[in-house]
Amino acid sequence: MIQILLGELLPLSTNTNKGLTRRTAYFDLIQGKLYKIAYKEELHVYKPVICLLYVLRNGISSCYVASLSGYRNGVSHFKLICGNDIQFKLYQKLNSTNYFDIMLECPDNSAGIMEIKAMDDLTVIETTEPLRDWQQIATE
């Protein structure tokens, strides 16, 4: 009786993603470059992006952990979880599907690695998009 009940509750392995799946990706950050972080599809539930930044600036290394975006309907979210005074500039902009894209600017005399942990597929691209329409949410 117990075995039948537990057997019905355990997930079946079907090689398909069901529910929330965490994805991790790594990106090299080069001084003076802009990186745009955006969801590939529209969000229907809160799915935060955890961003770990390993930074070398002026010969000093630092580590930062931040929670970015994840909300719909024009609600903005940025929280520095670990680290003081982030050494990158972060910007946000509401996109056409009513959630925020994030832009990260790697300052001069800096380099680093960005580790992204997210529940959904993201795109992270190097861009030359002008920052005039973007709202700054964190500064170096």
Q: What is the DSSP annotation of 106-123?
A: --TTEEEEEEEEESS-EE
pLDDT at 87: 72
pLDDT at 117: 77
User: 16, 70 in Cβ contact below 8 A?
Assistant: no
Q: Which domains does the chain have, with CATH numbers?
A: 24-138 (2.60.40)
Number of helices (H), then strands (E), belonging to the chain: the values are 1, 10
Residues of the chain with pLDDT under 50: 1-18
> Residue 78: beta bridge partners?
68
| pTM beyond cutoff 0.75 | no
> Distance (Å, rounded) from C-alpha 69 to C-alpha 54?
20
Secondary structure of residue 131 in the 3-state scheme: coil
84-93 pLDDT, tens digit per residue, is 666 778 888 8
DSSP 74: T
